[in-house]
Amino acid sequence: MIPASFDYVRAKSLRDALNAIGTDGTKVLAGGHSLIPMMRFRLAQPGRLLDIGQLAELKGIDLKGRGARIGAGTSYRELLDSPELAERYPLIAEATRGIGDVQVRNRGTIGGGLAHADPASDMPAVMLALGATFNLRSKGGKRSVAAADFFTGAFTTALASDELLIDIALPAPPKKAGMAYASFEQKASGYAIAAAAAVVTKSRKTITGVTLALTGVGDRAYLADASGAVGSHGDDAALEAAVANVTKGIDVNGDIHASVEYRSHLARVVARRAIALALSRAG
C-alpha cells in the first residue's frame, strides 16, 4: 500500500492553486479520501499533488437569499454541522450521513467527491436532484456548468485540466417540497448499488412535480424521468408505473455484487421508495 513516488505542493492561495494546476501530471488533492486509496493501489500515479485542502477561499456554506452556495472545500462533516443547510436541503444531510464513515466525513470534501465523479457516489445524484450549478475557475477565467452537464462518465467530468471547482450554487428548493434519499448499499464498500435522490412537490394530495436522480446504476449519476407520477396520489401502482423506465437508455452496470437485471430492478425500487418517502415529507 505504498504509492509511487510523487511531488507535493500545498497551494497557499486560490491564485496560487490556479497557477499551479495546469502543470502536466498534476492532480488536485482535497480531502484525499478517494484519491489516496487509488494512489496506494497504484491505480493512480500522479507525478505531483496540488493540495488545496487548506484554502479558506474554498470553504464555507453561504445561505444568504433562498438558495445556497457551498465552497468546494467544505467537508461532509461541515455540511452535517449546518442545521440551516439541513433545514433548507434535507436531502443533503440525509445522503451525507451515509457517506463513508466518521473519518471519511471529517476529511472528505463535497467538491473533491464531485470532481472525482465515482459512478456510485451519493453526492452527484443529490446535486442533480437539487438542480445545482458548479462554478469553475481557471487562470484564464471562470464559467458555470449545470450539474446535468458536469458528469460526463465514470470518473470524468466537464472540468478542464487547468480548472478548479470553486463552489456549488443551489437554487431555492421548490416551495414545500419533500426530499428523500434512498440507497441500496453494497455491503463491503458501502457505495450504492443503486441510489435515488428525489424532490417532490404536491398540491393537496396530488403530486405536482418530481425530480429524480439516480446513482450507482450506470457510468455516472443521471436525472431520470419519473414525471409519470405527476398528477397521481403517489400510490404504489402509480409510482411503480412512473419508475418503470428509469434505466431506459442507460448502460446498467453488472458486477460481482449485482447483475444488470438485479441492479436495474433495484434502481426502480430505490426510485419508487425515494419518491414515496419524499412525498410523505412534502407539503
Partner 1 sequence: MATLFGSGIKRREDPRLITGSGTFTDDIKLPGLTFAAMVRSPYAHATIRKIDTAAAAQAPGVIAVITGKDIAGKVGPVPCAFNVPNCDLKLPPHPALATNKVRYVGDAVAMIVATSRAAARDAVDLVDVDYDPLPATVDPEKAVQPGTAQLHDEVPGNVAFTWHVAGGDADQAFAQAAVKVSLRIVQQRLLPTAMEPRSAVASYNKATGQLTLWATSQNPHIHRFLTSVTLGLPEHKIRVISPDVGGGFGSKIPGYADEFLVAYAAMTLGRSVKWTEDRSENYTVTTHGRDHVEYVEMCGTGDGTITGLRTKIHAGLGAYASTAAPGVPTILHGLMYSGAYTIPNVKGTVIGAYTNTTPVDAYRGAGRPEATYLIERLVDCYARRIGMDPALVRRKNLIPADKMPYTVATGITYDSGDYHAALDKAMELIDYRGFRERQEKARKDGHYLGIGVSSYTEICGLGPSQVAGQIGFGGGLYESAIVRVYPTGMVRAYIGTRPHGQGEETTFAQIVADEFGVPIENVEIVAGDTESTPQGWGTYGSRTTAVGGAALKNAAVKVKEKAKKLAAHLLEANEADLEWHDGKFQVKGSPAQAKAFGELALMANVAWNMPAGMEPGLEASAFFDPTNFVFPYGTHIATVDVDLETGEVTVLRYVCVDDCGPHINPMIVEGQVHGGVIQGVGEALQEIAVYSDDGQLMTGTMMDYAVPKASQMPTIESHFTYTPTPVNPLGVKGIGEAGTIGSVPCIVNAVVDALAPLGITHIDKPLTPARVWAAIQQAKGGAR
Site for partner 1, rule CB under 8 A: 1-2, 4-5, 41, 184, 186-189, 191, 256-259, 262, 265-266, 269
CB closer to partner 1 out of 41 and 233 = 41
CB closer to partner 1 out of 64 and 187 = 187
In 3-state terms the chain splits into helix, strand, coil percentages (rounded to 5) of 30, 25, 40
Q: Which residues lie across from 214 on neighbouring strands?
A: 196, 222
Residue closest to 275 by CA, chosen among 192, 202, 204, 193? 202
Least distance to partner 1, CB of residue 274, Å: 14
User: How many Cβ atoms sit within 10 Å of the Cβ of residue 23?
Assistant: 14
Least distance to partner 1, CB of residue 256, Å: 5
CB closer to partner 1 out of 4 and 146 = 4
- Give the 3-state secondary structure of residue 158: coil
**Grid coordinates 426502480 are at which residue?**
268
Least distance to partner 1, CB of residue 82, Å: 25
Least distance to partner 1, CB of residue 271, Å: 13
CB closer to partner 1 out of 126 and 270 = 270
Least distance to partner 1, CB of residue 210, Å: 20
CB closer to partner 1 out of 6 and 228 = 6
Q: Where are the beta strands (DSSP E) in the chain?
A: 7-10, 26-29, 48-51, 61-62, 68-71, 133-138, 141-146, 151-153, 156-157, 164-170, 178-185, 192-203, 206-215, 222-224
CB closer to partner 1 out of 237 and 256 = 256
CB closer to partner 1 out of 83 and 101 = 101
Least distance to partner 1, CB of residue 2, Å: 4
> Which triple of cell numbers denotes residue 61?
456554506
Burial of 129 (0-12, 13-18, 19+ CB in 10 A): buried
Least distance to partner 1, CB of residue 70, Å: 27
CB closer to partner 1 out of 87 and 261 = 261
Task: Write the Ramachandran bin of 17: left for phi over 0, alpha for psi from -120 to 50, otherwise beta.
Answer: alpha
Q: What phi and psi, each to the nearest 5 degrees, are found at residue 104?
A: -65, -45
Cα 121 to Cα 186: distance, rounded to the nearest angstrom: 12
Least distance to partner 1, CB of residue 283, Å: 26
> Which triple of cell numbers denotes residue 73?
472545500
Terminal-to-terminal C-alpha distance of the chain: 50
